[in-house]
Amino acid sequence: METPSIETPISDVQQTSSKKRKIPMSSKFAPSKSAAPGQKDSTVALGTSAPPKLKLTSASNVDAARAVATEPPASIPSEGEMRLKLETGSEVRIPLDIGARVTCRSTRDNEPRTIRVIERRKIPGGAWSHPQCPVEFVQLPGCARPMPGAAATALASDTAPDSGVKVEDLPLGNAPSSAHLLLQQAMAGPAADWEYYVHYLGFNRRMDEWVQLWQLDLTTVEVDAEAAVGADGGGNRKKKKVVEGHDSDSEHADFDPQQLREHEEFTKVKNVDTIELGKHQMDTWYFSPLPPEMKDCKRLYFCEHSLFFFRTRNEMTRHISKWPIRHPPGSEIYRNSAGTVCMYEVDGKKEKTYCQNLCYLAKLFLDHKTLYYDVDLFLFYILCEIDERGSHIVGYFSKEKASEEGYNLACILTLPAYQRKGYGKFLISFSYELSKIENKIGTPERPLSDLGRVSYHGYWTRELLNILRSHEGTISIKDLSDATMIKPDDIVNTLEMLGVIKYQKGQHVLCASAKEVEKHLKAAGGPGLEVDSSRIIWTPYNAEREYNNASLRS
């Protein structure tokens, strides 16, 4: 679960300066370059009345084809192109241009969806090395590069140098669809050895991923003339008034178009694929501005108690063996009666490194504009599960020590491994319980993310309708706000969305039957893990008290 914003940490985990600074951008994949001057592109044509043929413009007989297959890897142009012709007469260039749209089968569920190419890179080991590739490859004796199975079989056994059979007469095999035939042809050349970072149109950026050529239906390729970047890294990429491809604009409602372009360019490609935290491995969702020493590290290993992160498991294991604490720093302010969950309050000024590391971790699962952050100004509330091995971080929320806007929550996250267990609802509820102790009306920082909107709408619905269901007589918006510490604007918006109040003659009037209230409560779901307010041991932050204590220590 995820909500409005992310306070992003400064670039060095060990940095102690309290000044805000911009985090350096992680390395980007450089745009590809054009083929060498004078080099001819290989072309594959898909016919309508005969099996598809392999046609190499640089060779006209089997010997020449075998020579191409046996070239040493160094002689194969790394940026070579291949052009495929469809039955319709249109042409597809491989590797695909950045900005191209095509149907892709998702790695997660194998469902075909339209994607847009965000970035591309060469595949280490070649396209044929992937275990899930549906095209069978055969390694011919003496050939440096494997070939699609049917073509390799024909080349090895059915032809001879003096047979008179031309390369364009070699069938690539019988396949059930033109899309699969086209794929086999595309996989025959070095231009196929690319993978693509893609965005699924209509979905949040957390679904973006790297895919390979065999996951794409090449018969559906559409090139965006304004956004496409060719093999030379150039093309006709233009700035647009409206930034395409961001399908969760409510999360960036306070961006102007230039800010949104800069944000998406900076964070367009995830720099870490997975993390290991405790006993869980989790796929990441977004880019995180990690320190430069973590460049090109596809998996990070986090110590779940200190939140230090490492490139290898051995490094993490050595750190854990020397780290004596088995819980977060700070003060424990809550433990439920069963002794299974607890909450810690951590001051960003006192525990700077821990809080910065927490922000690095959180940014892998939260998408937000800001890449500036000063942890000194925030308090962090860490939710943990408890067992005999210690306390294990489940999620957290943060809040400003002094918010002029009345925010009682700045950033919230339940780690993916612990989602759908009611922890997100617990964190939201806990933030309002602290507001009740402070006797301050609170609201989360805007803008809310898609998951944040759903979570908060459910919480507000349950809190407000439970009061309305049991209340007899009239009740005002202020009464509801005083009872729940929910901001009046949030109360009105929630009840209007539910359709249970209307504005008549200058005031809001409740117009919902008991049956309708029950229906909305059922749709809002259960409260999840409930907060026992009697077990909270907490004193609100007092800046003057902290200043006096600091003066005494000095």
Would you please indicate which residues are annotated as catalytic (active-site) residues? 445
Token pair 């992160």 is at which residue?
Answer: 309
Q: What torsion, rounded to 10 degrees, do the Cα atoms 521, 524, 529, 531 define? A: -60
397's tokens:
């929320």
Residue 397 contacts residue 412 (beta carbons within 8 Å): yes
Burial label, 549 (beta-carbon count in 10 A; 0-12, 13-18, 19+):
exposed
Q: Which amino acid type is present at position 212?
A: Q
Q: What is the DSSP letter of 197?
A: E
Query: If phi over 0 gives left and psi between -120 and 50 gives alpha, with beta otherwise, what is residue 525?
Result: left
**Contacts by 537-542, CB closer than 8 A, 24 or more apart:** 537/333, 537/334, 538/333, 538/334, 538/345, 538/434, 538/437, 540/434, 540/437, 540/438, 541/379, 541/401, 541/402
**Cα–Cα distances in angstroms (integers) from residue 375 to residues 6, 7, 330, 355, in the given order:** 11, 8, 14, 7
Residue 129 contacts residue 32 (beta carbons within 8 Å): no
> Over the Cα atoms of the chain, what is R_g?
29
Q: Which of 428, 521, 394 is nearest to 468 (CA)?
A: 521
In sequence order, what are the residues at sequence separation of 6 or more whose Cβ sits closer than 8 angstroms to the Cβ of residue 56?
42, 43, 64, 65, 68, 167, 168
φ, ψ of residue 28 to 5 degrees: the values are -110, 155
Distance CA 192, CA 175 (A): 19
Residues paired with residue 481 on neighbouring β-strands, in sequence order: none
Could you tell me the sign of the dihedral formed by the alpha carbons of 507, 511, 517, 523, in that order?
Answer: negative
